[in-house]
A and B are shown apart, each in its own frame.
Chain A
Amino acid sequence: MTEQKRGRDARFRLTDGLLIALMILPLVGCIVLKVLFTPESEGVDISGAMVFLRLPAPGQELIISESQVNSWAIMLTLLGLCLYLTHGLTEKAETKRQLIAEWIVEKCEGLVQANMGERFAGYSYLIAAIMGLSALSSLSCLIGLFAPTGDVNVTAGWAILVFCLVTWTKLQGGILNYLKGFMEPIPVFTPMNFISEFSLPVSMAFRHYGNVMSGAVISALISTALKGLSRLLLGALPVIGEIPLLGIGLPAILSIYFDVFSGLMQAFIFAMLTMLNVSGSFPQEAWEKRQRKKAARKQRVAAAGA
């Protein structure tokens, strides 16, 4: 009995170790890749993601850059995190990680419930995924990686997914209603409605991308400036001159704002906008009206059948 238990414990711990490795190794791999491929450079270097691979594809080249690789690594990390948190769930919630998992699930569901209502309960998965992916992507610059959210293609992909969901939700009200929605309040507004419709994904994508990228740019500028300043002031000294002393402190404090706070904030904002846009695209009253209409039609059909 105890032998069996010990065996089970050992297996449990081994699985835990593997899952933790699944969480950490992808990020470590990304750091290694970054270190291997970063060219020696002097001075300010503000550019997009490094390109690892260019593949021929119809229309446009398929570029595998840092942002894609880092995104995949972060997805693997999140997968590992999910598996780790839900490993060994029990009815009595004996482990801390189970409490964390339950907290995440309940918070996400509560948030979706509060902002979107009962009928959109299925969106809690998407919201959890957006928050996790966006937050971890933005935070990945803390370990020296290129933040995937600093690439407009990444946030554009997410924004287009949200746009598709918004359109799909609108189409639930019927294609005619959807088309009629563009002509409100009067048909003259149709072009403007089109623009506002398609500005949603663009604004969402650029908001997120711009915040993260601008933070990175400011961080890079300030740290370079401080490096230059310390070389100017202390460069004459023998040993100390080699170390950019002024670079200690301020960039770290700025990083707390630009990387941590702004990153988490943007993740929350993106999730919030997703919820509001999706639920706003088919308001509760219209949905209820439609449900009533459906029920009435069903009743009529039933009556005709009888």
Chain B
Amino acid sequence: MQSLSIISVNIWDILISFANLAILTWIVKKFLFKPVKKVLDTRRESIDSAYARADEAEARAEEHRLNYEAAMAAAKQTADQMISEAAREAERRGNEIENEARAQARDIRSQAEADAQLERKKAEKDMKREIADVSVQLTGKLLEREMKPEDHRELIDSFLQELDGE
């Protein structure tokens, strides 16, 4: 089998080589780049959609969180309001009850004072009468002189009135 010399230009061999490279370029394009790029594209798409979904979910979660916080704040406010209202109400009721009790006590006391006054006045009156009677008898006995009881009483009453006047 003979060999070519080390440099031998053959136009057909050059053409064959030209075609070889062209065909190989087509092969590489068709069987390596196309499928790989297709896969890369689908991966990029799925990653993009995953990111979009993640963003959406995050936004939704944030929204939920805000809603929840707002609801919590509202609930807290309501509770505070209720508590303070209840406290105010309780205070008001307490004051009311206290005032009522105080008024009642005052009433009772003034009633009692009035009663006592009345009682004392009655006692005083009785005592006066007693004293008058006793004085009449005493003076009668002492003076031993007849005196009309009416005159006598009149005298003593005036005396007592003077006493009261003092």
Which one of A50, A68, A92, A132 lies within 8 Å of B13 (CB-CB)?
A68
Q: Is A28 an interface residue (CB 8 A)?
A: no
B81: Cβ under 8 A from any A Cβ: no
User: Which of A49, A60, A71, A126 is close to B20, meaning CB atoms less than 8 Å apart?
Assistant: A71
Question: Which size class do A's interface residues fall under?
Answer: 35 or more
Q: Known contacts being A82-B32, A132-B24, is A157 close to B16, with CB within 8 Å?
A: yes
Alpha-carbon distance A119/B20, docked complex (angstroms): 25
* B6 close to A (CB within 8 Å): yes
Report A-chain residues with C-beta under 8 Å of the C-beta of B8. 48, 152-153
Question: Which residue of B9, B24, B35 contacts A133 across the interface (Cβ within 8 Å)?
Answer: B24
Chain A residues with CB under 8 A of B46: 91
* Residue ID in chain A nearest B8 by CB atoms: A48
* Interface presence of B158 (CB below 8 A): no
Residue of chain B at shortest CB distance from A122:
B29
Chain A nearest Cβ from B140, distance in angstroms: 141
Q: Please, how many angstroms separate the alpha-carbon atoms of A256 and B118 in the complex?
A: 141
Say whether A63 contacts B13, CB under 8 Å: yes
CB distance from A150 to the nearest CB of B (A): 9
Contact string, A69-96, partner B, CB cutoff 8 A, digits 1/0? Answer: 0011001001100110110011111000
* Contact call A51/B14, Cβ cutoff below 8 A: no
B3 touches A102 (CB 8 A): no
User: A160 within 8 Å of B by Cβ?
Assistant: yes
| Nearest CB on B from A225, distance (A) | 19
When the two chains form their complex, are residues A213 and B6 in contact, meaning their CB atoms are under 8 A apart?
yes
The chain A residue sitting closest to B38, CB to CB, is A89
B142: interface (CB < 8 Å): no
Query: Could you tell me the distance in whole angstroms from the C-beta of A113 to the nearest C-beta in chain B?
Result: 14
Contacts of B9 in A (CB 8 A): 152-153, 156
Choose one: A39, A63, A130; the contact of B4 (CB below 8 Å): A63
Q: Is A285 an interface residue (CB 8 A)?
A: no
Residues from chain A with Cβ under 8 Å of B17 in the complex: 68, 71, 148, 153-158
Q: List 5 additional contacts besides A79-B31, A152-B7; criterion CB under 8 Å.
A: A85-B32, A86-B32, A128-B32, A129-B27, A160-B18
Q: List 16 A-B contacts (CB under 8 A).
A: A37-B1, A48-B4, A49-B3, A50-B3, A60-B12, A62-B12, A71-B20, A75-B23, A78-B27, A86-B31, A86-B32, A152-B8, A155-B17, A157-B16, A157-B19, A157-B20
User: Which residues does B use to contact A, with CB under 8 Å?
Assistant: 1-29, 31-33, 35-40, 42-43, 46
